Chain A
Amino acid sequence: MDIEDRPDSRPTARTLGLTFLGVALSGFGGVLPFARRALVDRRRWLTEADFNETLALCQSLPGPNIVNLSVVVGSRFAGVGGAFAGVAGLLAAPVILVLCLATLWARFGASGRIPAAIDGLGAAAAGLVVATALKMARPILSRAPAGGGAIIGCVFVAVGVARAPLIAVLAVAAPVSVFIAWRRRPGGQG
């Protein structure tokens, strides 16, 4: 039938695009778990270890993580065309949908009790980002509580509280943090 039955076949750009389209549309409230399910469990294009490895790369690079993931996976199997297909598949439908939602908000957002509902929605959306920060912090704080915690705290205060220019904060924090991690590596000093 399709590629699911032949895990070893190389996906074409078209299959890649359609797969990421499916991932994007099922990804209510976070695309990542759906990407893992599609790429590892259903399509078997990547092993679990491959996926984690690729994700670590995409999270280390700047840019939207999941978009980066579609570039890496798309280009690995189908070159530049695959990368474009992956990104387009991931973005096209969500962009159209979110613009429809925004248009509805522009037209009806001020009427009746809608503003009160939107206030509740905004409060929950803030809570989602708090939860994301907590989830991201947990493995770092258990592995390197002092160094990791200090970097998290400094970046948070500089960007969130002092509102220092982002580029300046990154120019200082990224090299310092990588240097600390380098010294901590097995066989490293310190």
Chain B
Amino acid sequence: MKAAGETLLALLAQFAVLSLLAFGGANGVVPEMHRQAVAVHHWMSDRDFTTLFAIAQAAPGPNVLIATLVGWKAAGIPGALVATLAMCGPSCVLTYFAARVWDRHRDAPWRKALAAGLAPVAVGLVAATAWLLVRAADRDVALALITAATAAVIGFTRLNPLWCLAAAAGLGLWRGL
């Protein structure tokens, strides 16, 4: 039981910190989640992580579900709950108070500068996540083509991503024949 408690504590500490670093949302800190879960704590393999990320994307709901699944893989249902709450708690508290300050300084120029300055940082983080996932998921040319096609379709049309996920799973099945 001691080991399980230690895993829960590690999840709590890791995700509470990531919560406050997650510029660009949960997708901004996926490389750090991956590093901790695969390389540092050995909770799962590289391939497991890619699969869990795909499952999180396929389920309805916010991107934060990848944290839920990392917690689940590490320590079952309690781990899932701890990781989810730790990933949301600190940033929710910060947001609660920041919203008040933000409203009070409606026209302050620093507000625009802050938003405009943090936006490219968030894009860089999400791009790093994309790169990590591309390298982990695209183990052959056909899979790389699926990634490229999905990126093009979703990047340049308004199609619901679920169609791409379903088509890709279907293609995978067909390839596996």
Contact = CB atoms under 8 A, between A and B. Distances in A.
Interface of A: 24-31, 56-68, 71-72, 75-76, 80, 83, 87, 90-91, 93-95, 97-99, 101-102, 105, 109, 113, 115-137, 140, 144, 147-149, 151-156, 158-161, 163, 166-167, 170, 173-174, 177-182, 184-185, 187
B146 A123 contact: yes
Query: Which 6 A/B pairs are nearest by Cβ-Cβ distance?
Result: A63-B91, A94-B61, A120-B172, A155-B124, A116-B176, A127-B150
A73 B65 CA distance: 21
B23 A174 contact: yes
A127 B168 CA distance: 10
A27 B25 contact: no
B58 A121 contact: yes
Contacts, number: 362
Contacts of B144: 123
25 contacts: A28-B162, A60-B118, A61-B98, A63-B87, A63-B94, A64-B91, A72-B95, A83-B96, A95-B68, A98-B55, A101-B58, A105-B55, A120-B143, A121-B51, A121-B55, A126-B130, A128-B151, A129-B129, A132-B126, A140-B119, A149-B120, A151-B121, A159-B124, A166-B21, A185-B109
Interface of B: 17, 19-27, 29-32, 35, 50-65, 68-69, 72-73, 77, 80-81, 84, 87-88, 90-92, 94-96, 98-99, 102, 109-110, 112-134, 136-139, 143-144, 146-155, 160-162, 164-165, 167-173, 175-177
Contacts of B134: 126, 130
Given A67-B91, A113-B173, A117-B172, A177 B21 contact: no
Contacts of B164: 29, 124, 127-128
Given A95-B84, A136-B119, 14 more contacts: A62-B91, A63-B88, A67-B91, A113-B176, A115-B176, A119-B143, A120-B173, A125-B57, A126-B134, A131-B153, A133-B129, A167-B21, A170-B121, A181-B116
